[in-house]
Amino acid sequence: MTSSVKLGWILVNKKIISQAQLESVLTTQFRYDKKLGELLVEQKLISRKQLDQALKEQYWRRNGYWVI
């Protein structure tokens, strides 16, 4: 799971948001043409700090450096 780690998967896996919340935001994402993280913060589903942490994890996983 290195090259296709999705931000939504990370947030759901860490139980920061629910699958239903993710699906709801994904459906609105196309209407507003915004990034997922931006919408999640705007809707107050996650904090900016949680977004930053999840983006860091996504980066490290994609580059093969994530160690559990």
Alpha-carbon Rg for the chain, nearest whole angstrom, is: 12
Q: Which residue has the tokens 């931000």?
A: 7
Q: What is the pLDDT of residues 8-66, one digit of tens each?
A: 999 999 999 999 999 999 999 989 889 999 999 999 999 999 999 999 999 998 888 76
Euclidean distance between CA atoms 51 and 33, whole angstroms: 18
46 half-sphere exposure, CB direction, 13 A CA radius: 27
Q: What is the pLDDT of residues 14-27, one digit of tens each?
A: 999 999 999 999 99
Q: What are the boundaries of each domain within the chain?
A: 7-61
